[in-house]
A and B are shown apart, each in its own frame.
Chain A
Amino acid sequence: MDTSKVVLEVNDLGINFGGLRAVDSLDMVIHENELYGLIGPNGAGKTTVFNMLTGVYPPTDGTIKLEGQVINGKTPHEIAKLGIARTFQNIRLFKNMTVKENVLLSLGAHADYNFFTGIFKLPKFHAQELAMEDEAMRLLDVFELRDDSEKLAKNLPYGKQRELEIVRALGVHPKLLLLDEPAAGMNPQETENLMRTIDVVRKQFGISILLIEHDMKLVMGICEKITVLNYGAMLACGTPEEIQNNPHVISAYLGE
């Protein structure tokens, strides 16, 4: 078995929306520096899992542990600070802020100059702002966004907006990065580039990534471990080979 450090451990996670059991008794373990896939058809509950992991929805039952610490009941910003960052299925950028400001925003949550230092522009403000700006540019380089740094986020083409969202999430300094269908709306070529970059990001930053994607082939290609959701329940979990040969998965996917 894998002996590397556990980053995320989810036990018996479930949530009800009124009468709908959107996610039911989900177990999941994500290790350090692992690229983990979460797949399943539309409406399976994948995004809902992300919303529970990031504190947007409180789970009805179960526990979520980040590096051993239970994080259920924490607010989204607390969870972000503890080290879970995410992107959204429907892009949520700060549209009227510049590309660079989008990244500075998440980096700023780590700076510690206070309000008065900021409004009176004291030396600490200068030092930290310059350092953040430097880091923002380096993060933007990962997706070749440096030249767009002064554009408003809303003026970026669609694919770049998705990438900027990832850069902003990296600014959170996450231990675990959640990507909700990052390739949605991209053509096969763009998708392939993106997946390669995601793998580079994981290695370069040494973080774990949980990736939602409904293109099964794509996930099989790059993820080390995969969980398949179906109607909120875990259908299968394992390595890509195990998933490919799993009779439940075969019947669910081929039976459709």
Chain B
Amino acid sequence: MKKVTFKQQLLMELGVTLALYLFFQSLMSLGIINSYWRGIVITICINVVLTVSLNITSGFLGELALGHAGFMAAGAYISAVFSKSIALIPSVEFPLALLIGGLFAMFLGYLVSIPTLRLRGDYLAIITLAFGEIVRNVLLNIKLTGGAGGYSSIPKYTTFTWTFFIAAACVLLSKSLINSRQGRAIISIREDEIAAEASGINTNYYKKLAFIFSSFFAGVAGALYAHYMGFLQPAYFNLDKSIEILVMCVLGGMGNIMGSIISASILTILPEALRQIADYRMLVYAIVLIVMMLVKYAPQFEGLLNIFKPKKEEEA
């Protein structure tokens, strides 16, 4: 069995990315994907960025974070303010706006990570939930960005190409992170924090790193969203939004990047495809969350689920 070298793997990843891009791009220029579906593809890409980045904190670090929409909102608003108040050529202004969105969210991610060094589980979930609500409430009260009424006429710079390559970057960089010593350190904290420390891992440092990485991409996703819609409203970034991202993450599998991509795609398309029953989406979310909690906190329930799994235990 010959092993794939690092270089081959890198080339393969870049090749697949490019092929996927050309595939979508040609479908769009041939008109097979119309402008309505192009919008959905862009939304999928944004949701992929949100889900994969959340997976770093929730799936790999193992901290239930409920404030991802807060980071997204921060990135969205700051980048929108930037590109509305500055007049550069778009090809310079937009990447700068994305970067500023990411960096600002990252700064907030750093702040949020500090209490997480001492808290775990439910307490951490509450802190991140509170963070999301604080961001939304602050935005409601900022006159510059129109408060509850919304912030409009943001330049619509977001294109399929930008969104696709940023989603690809997020996915590939997350994958690299996970396979680096830093990523293994993050996963080891989820697995056993005491053993990680005993193995020489500065767990506080790596928790912060995970939060910073995760919030950076949430901020970038927010910036993409802002320049796609051209209009922002604080109400969009509520707890439901955070939970929507979390559900995508959970359904795709905690700690599974490929799963995140798939579930973000399915859960973005599904409500569009089933527009007439879109109201039930939140019901589905609620059910999924309840099932997840049962599995997580009531071990006897897991046994119940195992009944549905094919029996092939002997393998190990």
Chain A positions near chain B (C-beta within 8 angstroms): 54, 56, 75-77, 80-81, 85-86, 88, 92-97, 101, 104-106, 108-111, 113, 115, 118-121, 125-126, 129, 132, 151, 155, 168-169, 171-172
Contact = CB atoms under 8 A, between A and B. Distances in A.
B183 A97 contact: no
Contacts of A172: 199-200
A54 B181 contact: no
Contacts of B201: 77, 105, 109
B176 A119 contact: yes
Contact of A85 (B173, B192, B198, B316): B198
A118 B198 contact: no
A232 B181 CA distance: 39
B198 A121 contact: no
A77 B194 contact: no
B38 interface: no
Contacts of B255: 96
B187 interface: yes
The dominant DSSP class at the B interface is helix
14 contacts: A54-B198, A56-B197, A77-B202, A88-B195, A92-B192, A93-B191, A115-B177, A118-B180, A119-B180, A121-B10, A129-B181, A169-B198, A169-B199, A172-B199
A86 B198 CA distance: 7
B185 interface: yes
A96 B253 CA distance: 14
B183 to A, nearest CB: 7
B181 A104 contact: yes
Contact of A101 (B6, B184, B196, B200): B184
Contacts, number: 110
B316 A155 contact: yes
Interface string B292-316: 0000000000000000000000001
Question: Which 6 residue pairs of A and B lie closest in terms of their CB atoms, listed nearest first?
Answer: A118-B180, A108-B181, A109-B200, A94-B191, A76-B197, A80-B200
Contacts of A121: 6, 10, 176
Nearest to B176: A119
A75 B184 contact: no
Contacts of B183: 118
A97 B184 contact: yes
Interface in B225-265: 255
Interface of B: 6-7, 10, 173, 176-177, 180-185, 187-188, 191-192, 194-203, 209, 255, 316
Contacts of B188: 94, 97, 105
B6 A111 contact: no
Looking at B10, B192, B195, B316, the one whose CB has the most chain A CB atoms below 10 A away is B195
A122 to B, nearest CB: 10
B195 A92 contact: yes
Contacts of B182: 115, 118
A60 B96 CA distance: 54
A108 B185 contact: yes
Given A97-B188, A111-B181, A125-B6, 20 more contacts: A75-B197, A85-B198, A92-B198, A94-B187, A94-B196, A95-B191, A95-B192, A97-B187, A104-B184, A105-B201, A108-B185, A113-B181, A118-B180, A118-B181, A118-B183, A121-B10, A121-B176, A126-B7, A169-B199, A171-B199
B75 to A, nearest CB: 19
A105 B200 CA distance: 9
Contacts of B194: 56, 76, 88, 92
Contacts of B202: 75, 77
B307 to A, nearest CB: 21
B198 A109 contact: no
A61 to B, nearest CB: 23
B258 to A, nearest CB: 16
A111 B201 CA distance: 12
B199 A125 contact: no
Nearest to B187: A97
A11 B250 CA distance: 51
Contacts of A155: 316
Contact of B184 (A80, A105, A115, A169): A105
Given A77-B200, A93-B195, A105-B199, A118 B185 contact: no
Nearest to B7: A126
Contacts of B200: 77, 80-81, 106, 109-110, 172
A36 B255 CA distance: 41
A80 B198 contact: yes
A91 to B, nearest CB: 9
A97 B187 CA distance: 8
Contacts of B195: 88, 92-94
